[in-house]
Amino acid sequence: MSDSFKIAVSSTALSALKSRIESATFPDELDDAGWAYGVPLADMKRLVARWRDGFDWRQEEQKLNNELPQFTRDIEVDGFGSLNVHYVYKKSDTGAGIPLLFVHGWPGSFLESRKIIPLLTKGSGDSQCPVFDVVAISLPGFGFSEAPKKKGFSLSQYVEVSHKLMIALGYTEYVTQGGDFGSRVTAEIARRYGGTHSKAWHTNVLFSLPPENDDPSIYTASEKEGLARWQEFQRSGSGYFQLHSTKPQTLGYSLADSPVGLLAWIYEKLVSWSDNYPWTDDEVLTWVSIYWFSRAGPAASIRFYYEVAHSGQALGTKSSPPTIPMGCSLFPKELIRIPKSWYPGVGDVVFEAEHDKGGHFAAHEQPELLVGDLRKMFGKGGPVYGVVTGRDGYN
């Protein structure tokens, strides 16, 4: 059974956070460092001052509770026992909404579904626009979901939890959308449960290995730019990945003890991975507060990197692609853009949309564009219209 859930951070936790913020110690900074060495000191001092003296968590908490119908449910995971999983669940205004599972990654959370849920569930007032029943899971160890307590909780287990949640909600057939690690989860759902339960999947980040005898001379300018961006990211922006994948517990002490350290660790990614998105201070602080007040603490959210890296399912590992239909939305400042000649390694791409703005956090940065793509893919005239039996998104 599902239990209704409201975010209710204790006054004790709020007081403890304020105490830590008030005693924060900042490092020095080189002259004219900018972003080259990491988050600028001026940004951190401004954000911390706002967190300490002006940011109203209770107000943000109430907004989230009012906007997002939240629940928890116990889900049995093979070999790991029962985990209490938090999720957002909003049905469409019709009885035929397409069941869509939204899966986040790091440093995201269920919060990334906030802007797309009202668009997907209410439609646009156009009879040609499909609507969806949206389930946005908090992956175990994130947000207000319980974290696993045993080693080895890897990609297969995140897939199992996500699938079992949809089945528990009565959706024996459903579609998925994911970015970042959510793309890995939804791809594996498509591979494991494709055809029978998972009917189609959509992502805003594609990754595959190049095929044999690939010819780089046929790459388009945007494809070349996307690969160059990935190479630069690997060179100058992937240090966090190595830390998460090798010694997450060591880093976890800092993230769990220092809200300022956690803020810097996440804020850097929000800014550098987005496409000039105008982050407000309160927006950033709400995002980071979800991690600080999370059920298991912020250290739990980074362990999946280690587990995936040590399970034989690391990024770049060869595997057979899913066979069910997939769609993709391409945003110019995503961390990677693979050439179309690599698509056979991803799956059966039946829908593709390329945009001229947007970055890694597509659902948050460009919700209208992402939702528009989902409507085109699953709506009347789209390549997978009617893919879910009895639920085509229309009255």
- Catalytic residue numbers read 180, 305, 360
Q: Six-digit token pair at 17? A: 């956070």
Q: Six-digit token pair at 195? A: 């055809």
| DSSP assignments along 310-323, one per residue | TTT--TT---PPP-
Sign of the four-CA dihedral 333, 285, 241, 102: negative
Which residues fall within 8 angstroms of residue 337, CB to CB, at 6 or more apart?
206, 222, 223, 225, 226, 227, 229, 230, 330
Which residues fall within 8 angstroms of residue 349, CB to CB, at 6 or more apart?
326, 327, 328, 343
d(C-alpha 378, C-alpha 15), whole Å: 47
Alpha carbon dihedral 331, 334, 340, 341, in 10-degree steps, equals 170
What are the backbone angles phi and psi of residue 290, rounded to the nearest 5°? -60, -40
d(C-alpha 270, C-alpha 267), whole Å: 5
**Cis geometry, peptide bond prior to residue 107 (ω within 30 degrees of 0):** yes
- 3-class SS at 101? strand
